[in-house]
Amino acid sequence: MVGVATLIGMFLMPILAIIFCINLVEIMKKVKREEPTATNTFWLTASFLLIVWSIAITSLIH
């Protein structure tokens, strides 16, 4: 589990950060136009959880 968190932290963190930012901007645009945001909210939450989880697990081993 620590190895997976380390790999996510090292290699997938930039991708997860981009996914997070894109979905955050899309949610803000959709809220302004009063459109549904469920899909973007799911991906925003999933990317945020993976970012926080990988940081937390990686910090436990160091």
The pLDDT tens digits of the residues spanning 2-52 come to 777 777 778 889 999 999 999 999 999 999 999 999 999 999 999 999 899
Q: Which residue has the higher pLDDT, 56 or 27?
A: 27
**What is the reported pLDDT for 44?**
97
Structure tokens at 2: 């620590």
- In 1-62 the beta strands, taken as DSSP E runs, fall at none
Q: Cβ contacts of residue 47 below 8 Å, gap of 6+?
A: 16, 17, 19, 20, 23
